[in-house]
Amino acid sequence: MTTVILLLTLAASPPSTAEKPSRIAQILGGAYQQVGVTLTYDGSYRSITFPGGDVPLERGVCTDVIVRAYRQAGIDLQLLVNQDMSGSFGSYPRLWDLSRPDPNIDHRRVHNLATFFRRNGQTIAVTTRPEDYRAGDLVTWRLPSGAPHIGLISDRVQNGRPLVVHNIGAGVEVADVLFSYEITGHYRYDP
């Protein structure tokens, strides 16, 4: 009986640090979980809970992929972006005629996430060498339409290039698009 209880106790105990997935693995897992779930591209303004708010999981935009992925690792970009903007509002783009931060939408804008990552993470050189992009890196692009876009570099490779987890209009997907658009930023953020 004692042995059984001991085994049950060991089985119920949390895994050791060596068995826990890395933060990057948690972030990537959070991104992959959105594939086939977030199917509708919808960037409309919504009032959401703060902190920890989100639009319905079946919809979202490219930034929502990033925010949801980081939440899987216990990092709330909605809160962090709001705090950074509140402390340094003038460092953020003035593209939306706002006079103060708005926790409903600020973290859902590519320019704001790029500014946050630049201010709080590492800015990495933009290159055309696939090996310079690591799993968990964040990349921003300017699409042919001029719209900004953001994606998460995956740990999967195709044709010698890392695949990207993103939502460009047809829901969250993992795709070979790293060099398909003009890259405007390359960041690493692992607080």
How far apart, in whole angstroms, are the C-alpha atoms of residue 169 and residue 56?
Answer: 16
Contact predicate 81/91, CB 8 Å: no
Q: 154 phi and psi, to 5 degrees?
A: -90, 180
* DSSP element (H, E) containing 109: none
pLDDT tens-digit readout, 99-140: 999 999 999 999 999 999 999 999 999 999 999 999 999 999
pLDDT band at 20 (very low <50, low <70, confident <90, very high): confident
16-20, 51-55, 104-108, 124-128, range with the lowest pLDDT: 16-20
The answer to whether the peptide bond before residue 51 is cis (omega within 30 degrees of 0) is: yes
